[in-house]
Amino acid sequence: MGIKGFYAIVCVMTVPIVFVLMVSFLMLKPNPEGLNQESPVYSVSNVGFYYDLTYQENKNRRYDQQIFDLCFKAINEAETFILLDMFLFYDSVTMSPNHVPIATQLVDALIAKKRENPEITIMIITDPFNTSYGAVIPNHLKRLEKANIDVVITNLKKLRDSNVLYAAIWRSFLQWFGTAGKGWLPNVADAEAPKITARSYLALLNFKANHRKVLLTDKMGVVGSANPHGLSSLHSNIAFSFQGPILADLERSEAAVLALSDIDWTPFVQSSLIKEKDNDVDMGIQLLTEKKIQDHLIQAIDATIQGDSVDVAMFYLASRRVIRSLLRADKRGVVIRLILDPNKDAFGRKKGGIPNRPVAKELVRKSKGRIGVRWYDTQGEQFHTKLIIVRTFNTTTIFGGSANLTRRNIQNYNLETNIKILADHQSQIATDINSYFERLWTNQEGGYTLGYEAYNSVNFIKTLLYRFQEFSGLSTF
């Protein structure tokens, strides 16, 4: 054997060894410090509930939007700092006249705030998706930087990978080539934007995200499901506003995201200085991120007994752990109702109903019809809400924020932020949440939802595809 043959054998043997070692590392890789957090439960007297709803009324499409009005108000009232962490943050040139250029409006508001108060600290955190994974820096982000507003594109490489087989290939052999350069493929974030390289698509296929939707100022925190994204501006979403010591925990959770990109954030919020002014306290609030969302949710569902109820309003429901928990609750006599997106629309493209339709069919079949399912009547937009309501004998427990109920969202792969609210049944927040869900379930004052039969046709192939995608992580949900 010549020297060339020897080197050839070494190279052939090295590739699988590197692959196996990388897979082993990725399966055992711990979370970066500061993620997967739960705050203490804080007593509060005021938590605001907001929603965006697109629905049918007298043959007309109606748009009730509250969430970004709240965000603009928070920006206007801020004095010392503004921290914004948003997954999708751009306006597409392909928007219809009905779409709202939310990203542009938000950029304008932030720049105006900086001009009004040059001393204020403004930090923007977003996901690499908005730059086609480093291939193109959009103009609106350049505008922010030109106005001396810090913009951080989250470094996702330090996170765990949901699909370790592909991630092992990408991390070992592909990521080193970068994504920049003259491209020939449609832009990931906007099909009408400059074309990008195939290497951007290879980065996309690693399927991970900073999926948080957080606004934090010296006056309030906002956590919800809405993105400042033009093509998402007609989606139905929810959000919560709050004050008090929990703001310090929210700030620490965002500092951990900045640390992924080697950015040090100087704390502004001093929890010891934030006091609840109203003594009429009737609820508790807790911050949950990443897998802690799953842990607390399943604990709450598993604690239910006959006569309790669970209502779910969700864009994606796919987590096998959550599904098993719901089925166990059903067997105990818990009343369960689901309002789900039919998963048929995605920014002008048609989808096949995965994962919600196979999951709904399984839940209805295994519960013998006891679990109620209704579909939000989307017409091109999405029912993008992420909300769970668990009612026991004396407490309404509410979970809401950025996290879909999928493996990627709530098992320490994506970055996610939710809040958990523990409230008396008679509290204002419980009343508001219950009214919201009943309005959608019963089609009060408009057409919101359709019966289960509207989208119950699911074949074996789609069910198999859903199970494979949820297990493997090779999916967009």
Give the CATH number of the domain where residue 198 resides. Answer: 3.30.870.10
Residues 242 and 352 in one domain: no
Q: Which of helix, strand or coil describes residue 461?
A: helix
Note whether 377 and 234 are same-domain residues. Answer: no
> According to the model, what pLDDT value does residue 201 have?
85
Specify the pLDDT at position 195: 83
Per-residue pLDDT, 296: 98
Whether residue 269 is contained in a domain is answered as: no
Domain shared by 215 and 326, yes or no: no
| Residue 23: per-residue pLDDT | 67
* 349 found inside a domain: yes
Edge-first strand listing for the sheet containing 42-44: 42-44, 283-289, 417-423, 396-401, 386-391, 309-314, 335-340, 372-376, 449-451
451 within some domain: yes
Task: Say yes or no: 310 and 359 in one domain.
Answer: yes
372 assigned to some structural domain: yes
d(CA 124, CA 151): 5
The pLDDT of residue 273 is: 53
Distance of alpha carbon 395 from alpha carbon 46, whole angstroms: 16
User: Which of 240, 257, 274 is the endpoint of a domain?
Assistant: 257
Q: Is 104 in the same domain as 243? A: yes
Q: What is the DSSP letter of 447?
A: B
Q: What is the DSSP string of 263-318?
A: --------GGG-----S---EEEEEEETHHHHHHHHHHHHT--TT-EEEEEES-B-
List per-residue pLDDT tens for the chain, 477 residues long.
566 565 556 555 566 676 667 666 666 778 899 999 999 999 998 899 999 999 999 889 999 999 999 999 999 999 999 999 999 999 987 778 889 999 999 999 999 999 999 999 999 999 999 998 888 888 999 999 999 999 999 999 999 888 888 888 878 888 888 887 777 888 777 777 778 888 888 888 888 899 999 999 999 999 999 999 999 999 999 999 999 999 999 999 999 999 999 999 999 987 555 655 545 567 899 999 999 999 999 999 999 999 999 999 999 999 999 999 999 999 999 999 999 999 998 876 778 899 999 999 999 999 999 999 999 999 999 999 999 999 999 899 999 999 999 999 999 999 999 999 999 999 999 999 999 999 999 999 999 999 999 998 788 888 898 998 888 888 888
The answer to whether position 27 is within a domain reads no
Residue 348 and residue 240 share a domain? no
Q: Are residues 161 and 208 in the same domain?
A: yes
Range(s) of the domain holding residue 240: 42-55+64-257
284 DSSP β-pair partners: 43, 422
Q: Could you tell me if 173 and 298 lie in one domain?
A: no
Report how many domains make up the chain: 2
The three-state secondary structure class of 54 is strand
Three-state DSSP state, 113: helix
Report how many helices (DSSP H) and strands (DSSP E) the chain contains, helices first: 13, 19
Instruction: Work out the angle at residue 263's Cα, subtended by the Cα atoms of residues 83 and 140, and round it to the nearest 5 degrees.
Output: 50
* pLDDT value of residue 309: 98
Q: Tell me, yes or no, whether 21 lies in a domain.
A: no
In-domain check, residue 361: yes
Whether residue 294 is found in the same domain as residue 437: yes
Let me know whether 320 and 443 are in one domain.
yes
Contact status, residue 289 vs residue 34, Cβ threshold 8 Å: no
> What pLDDT, on the 0 to 100 scale, is given for residue 47?
95
Nearest to 374 by CA among 311, 329, 316, 441: 441
One domain for residues 230 and 169 = yes
Question: What is residue 184's predicted lDDT score, i.e. its pLDDT?
Answer: 81
**Does the residue 7 lie in any domain?**
no
In terms of domains, do 215 and 348 share one? no
